[in-house]
Amino acid sequence: MSSLLVDRIGELVTNVADSGTGGPLGIRRNVALLVEAGRVVWIGPARDAPAADHRIDAEGAAVLPGFVDSHAHLVFAGDRAVEFAARMAGRPYTGGGIRTTVGATRAAGDDELRATVRRLRAEALRQGTTTIEIKSGYGLTVADEVRSLRIAGEVTGDTTFLGAHVVPTEYADRPDDYVGLVCGPMLRAAAPYARWIDVFCERGAFDADHARAILTCGQAAGLGVRLHANQLGPGPGVRLGVELGAASVDHCTHLTDADVDALASTAGPDRTGTTTVATLLPGAEFSTRSPYPDARRLLDAGITVALATDCNPGSSYTSSMPFCVALAVREMGMTPAEAVWAATAGGARALRRTDVGVLRPGARADLMILDAPSHLHLAYRPGVPLVRQVLHDGVPR
Ligand SMILES: [Zn+2]
């Protein structure tokens, strides 16, 4: 078995909160990290580093767990750059452009969709993302949703069935029939290729009754629940997510006190956070020129917060987690440490994963070496490509 030593790490973010006096990021200094068979097997002082078959010299730089992007829509065709330009010229975002992408996606061949997914997955990896969730939702027929999930499943285990993204045009006059299709034949065909089910619960998409029906059917089929909630205005999504035990409610831009209280009520007795995570997607507010969610309010209420890209061709065409970290710090009241935690360990919580988002013996050897001495530089030097090297499953990429 071949071993790899990452040596001379100046600052190691472990996200193991009890590692000495390292704060919530569990920071350790002047350490080395040994990898075998895709897992971290040892972390200790650099002077005690064991011999290894291969060695990477971090030269005193910061090393962090790979980013966990828990919300992305990568299976689509075409782009909507013209719509973006119109929005920047003053046209509001309504979510209606999703249907434009549905048309292009249905018309595309498998190879075209596969090439886009692989290109975006590689782009994210270069920016430090080692775990990514990918949703369907631009097919909206049984066959197109299934092929979207199959193609997503070629690059991730965290696939999400989002047949309830919008009601497609051909069902515009009979949304109840479309909900019946999603809960019945579409879910039966999609479930073998999905780990999660998601609904866009928003005015103009699916209301609380439809969302509850779809998510409940998904749970009965063995899928975990997550949902798009409270993005464009106040609504029932967050409270519905809590009611159903969702792993995550995503967007959380427009919250009432009742929504915040509902999320806070999912805290366990051990004070290690909430079982329903609030996943914030600041790329969407950036790209739609909308007010950002108030992360400070959520954190102060003890709610576990994750950051993700929402990478999609309409409302957030970025695969960059460092960009999201910088936005969260500059615009959403998060400290750099809170934002880095939310983009790594927080994303792992949102996917109910314990093997990623953390660096300790037994964890996956998913990490990034920065061209910087500290995690602070991710927000302090926005727009700069600071990820020098990524290890994914212990393999340098
Ligand atoms: Zn989304």
Overall average pLDDT of the 316-323 stretch: 98
pLDDT at 24: 85
Q: What is the pLDDT of residues 26-56, one digit of tens each?
A: 999 999 999 999 999 999 999 999 999 999 9
pLDDT at 268: 80
**CATH, residue 285:** 3.20.20.140
Task: Tell me the CA–centroid distance for residue 72 and ligand 1, in Å.
Answer: 6
Domain of 12, in residue numbers: 3-66+357-396
Q: What is the pLDDT of residues 329-342, one digit of tens each?
A: 999 999 999 999 99
pLDDT at 269: 75
**Same-domain status, 40 and 175:** no
pLDDT at 97: 84
**Same-domain status, 320 and 385:** no
pLDDT at 23: 73
Task: Tell me the CA–centroid distance for residue 10 and ligand 1, in Å.
Answer: 36
**Same-domain status, 307 and 391:** no
CA distance 397 to 387: 11
Is residue 259 within 8 A of residue 220, CB to CB? The reply is no
CA distance 275 to 29: 31
Of the candidates 310, 313, 283, 311, the residue with the CA atom closest to the CA atom of residue 77: 313
Task: Tell me the CA–centroid distance for residue 253 and ligand 1, in Å.
Answer: 13
Task: Tell me the CA–centroid distance for residue 387 and ligand 1, in Å.
Answer: 25
Residue list, annotated binding site for Zn(2+):
71, 73, 228, 310
Provide the pLDDT confidence category of residue 1 given band limits of 50, 70 and 90. Answer: confident
**CATH, residue 49:** 2.30.40.10
C-alpha to C-alpha distances, 384 to 129, 131, 376, nearest whole angstrom: 16, 21, 13
**Same-domain status, 127 and 269:** yes
**Same-domain status, 233 and 369:** no
Task: Tell me the CA–centroid distance for residue 162 and ligand 1, in Å.
Answer: 9
Provide the pLDDT confidence category of residue 315 given band limits of 50, 70 and 90. Answer: very high
Q: What is the pLDDT of residues 207-216, one digit of tens each?
A: 999 999 999 9
Average pLDDT, the chain: 96
**Same-domain status, 148 and 232:** yes
Beta bridge partners of 4: 35, 54
Task: Tell me the CA–centroid distance for residue 271 and ligand 1, in Å.
Answer: 29
Task: Tell me the CA–centroid distance for residue 83 and ligand 1, in Å.
Answer: 17
The proportion of the chain whose per-residue pLDDT surpasses 90, expressed as a percent, equals 92
Q: What is the pTM of this model?
A: 0.97
**Same-domain status, 132 and 168:** yes
Cα–Cα–Cα angle for 106, 313, 296, rounded to 5 degrees: 135
pLDDT at 21: 62
**Same-domain status, 58 and 124:** no
User: Considering its fold, how many domains does the chain have in total?
Assistant: 2
Judged by average pLDDT, the poorest of 4-8, 39-43, 107-111, 202-206 is: 202-206
Residue list, annotated binding site for N-formimidoyl-L-glutamate:
138, 312, 314
Is residue 361 within 8 A of residue 319, CB to CB? The reply is no
**Same-domain status, 367 and 275:** no
Task: Tell me the CA–centroid distance for residue 309 and ligand 1, in Å.
Answer: 9
Q: What is the pLDDT of residues 124-166, one digit of tens each?
A: 999 999 999 999 999 999 999 999 999 999 999 999 999 999 9
Provide the pLDDT confidence category of residue 95 given band limits of 50, 70 and 90. Answer: low
Are β-strands 134-135 and 54-57 bridged in parallel, bridged antiparallel, or unpaired?
unpaired
Task: Tell me the CA–centroid distance for residue 71 and ligand 1, in Å.
Answer: 6
**Same-domain status, 162 and 289:** yes
**Same-domain status, 313 and 392:** no
Of the candidates 41, 133, 184, the residue with the CA atom closest to the CA atom of residue 347: 133
Residue 96, pLDDT > 90, answer no
Task: Tell me the CA–centroid distance for residue 227 and ligand 1, in Å.
Answer: 9
Q: What is the pLDDT of residues 172-199, one digit of tens each?
A: 999 999 999 999 999 999 999 999 999 9
**Same-domain status, 229 and 322:** yes
Q: What is the pLDDT of residues 346-380, one digit of tens each?
A: 999 999 999 999 999 999 999 999 999 999 999 99
Provide the pLDDT confidence category of residue 17 given band limits of 50, 70 and 90. Answer: confident
Residue 19, pLDDT > 80, answer no
Residue list, annotated binding site for Fe(3+):
71, 73, 228, 310
